[in-house]
């Protein structure tokens, strides 16, 4: 199998971390592609009509895409326990919160990178960051208990989302007022799977 991916993407990183945490990394080839909102990689477009990464090219079925779909597939394939039944809805909600942080932050990156400076909207950027701010504070106040205990997909998603904020939007300072979450992230970032997928 092949994973079409670009290392800076936080959605890709979620999958790459899961590959390592589940021991599947030796069974799937990671294929780096260059794709943007304005110029899609042809292999990605052929496998995913939305032309988004990550995409998993399977040997025995059609390609599957969206990090949440791929990670459920990998979890089942490895017989891992990243989606514990006893806390499933809470873990999925935490993963969705992490994905929403990623979506807002990636949108901000695209706005600044691919839209001409004169056409950029500071108000829109601030509105996206407000989503990030509310989400990180919600995790700090409501979801910290789900970031402890055995590894789950919610933890991986939050770690990848926060690391992406550091990569692309560090100047906005998500750690302010989120001391406990910041300490958790600093510790989680030392997992080998996170170190192996880090982008500077």
Please, are residues 53 and 70 in contact by the beta-carbon 8 Å criterion? no
Of residues 34, 52, 65, the one with CA closest to residue 106: 52
CA Rg, the chain, in Å? 17
What share of the chain in percent tops pLDDT 90? Answer: 98
| Averaged pLDDT for residues 113-140 | 96
DSSP 8-state assignment for residue 149: S
pLDDT of residue 200: 85
Q: How far apart are CA 109 and CA 125, in angstroms?
A: 9
> Residue 12 — φ and ψ, nearest 5°?
-65, -45
* Cα distances (angstroms) measured from residue 200 to each of 8, 129, 166, 168: 9, 22, 10, 10
- At 186-200, the pLDDT tens digits run 999 999 999 999 998
- CATH 1.10.1060.10 assigned to 85-195: no
pLDDT at 113 over 90: yes
Q: How far apart are CA 169 and CA 120, in angstroms?
A: 16
pLDDT of residue 80: 97
pLDDT at 107 over 90: yes
pLDDT of residue 18: 98
Q: Which residue has the tokens 């477009």?
A: 45
User: Which tokens in the block code for residue 161?
Assistant: 């989302």
> CA geometry: angle at 152 spanning 64 and 141, to 5°?
120
| Averaged pLDDT for residues 8-16 | 98
pLDDT at 104 over 90: yes
Mean pLDDT, rounded, of the chain: 97
- At 35-88, the pLDDT tens digits run 988 999 999 999 999 999 999 999 999 999 999 999 999 999 999 999 999 999
| Averaged pLDDT for residues 90-117 | 96
Looking from the CA of 28 toward its CB, the CA atoms found within 13 Å total: 27
- CATH 3.40.30.10 assigned to 2-78: yes
For the chain, domain boundaries: 2-78, 85-195
């Amino acid at each position: 199998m092949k994973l079409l991916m670009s290392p800076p993407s936080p959605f890709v990183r979620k999958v790459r971390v899961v590959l390592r945490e589940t021991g599947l990394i030796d069974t799937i080839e990671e294929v780096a592609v260059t794709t943007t909102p304005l110029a899609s990689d042809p292999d990605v477009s052929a496998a995913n009509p939305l032309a988004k990464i990550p995409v998993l090219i399977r040997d025995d079925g059609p390609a599957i895409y969206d990090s949440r779909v791929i990670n459920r597939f990998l979890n089942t394939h490895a017989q891992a326990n990243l989606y514990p039944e006893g806390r499933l809805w809470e873990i999925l909600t935490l993963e969705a919160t992490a994905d929403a942080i990623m979506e807002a932050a990636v949108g901000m990156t695209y706005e600044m990178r691919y839209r001409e400076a004169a056409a950029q909207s500071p108000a829109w950027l601030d509105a996206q960051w407000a989503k990030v701010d509310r989400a990180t504070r919600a995790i700090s106040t409501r979801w910290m208990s789900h970031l402890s205990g055995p590894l789950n997909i919610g933890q991986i998603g939050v770690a990848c989302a926060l690391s992406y904020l550091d990569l692309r939007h560090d100047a906005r300072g998500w750690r302010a007022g989120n001391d406990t979450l910041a300490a958790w992230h600093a510790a989680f970032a030392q997992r080998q799977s996170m170190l192996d997928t880090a982008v500077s």
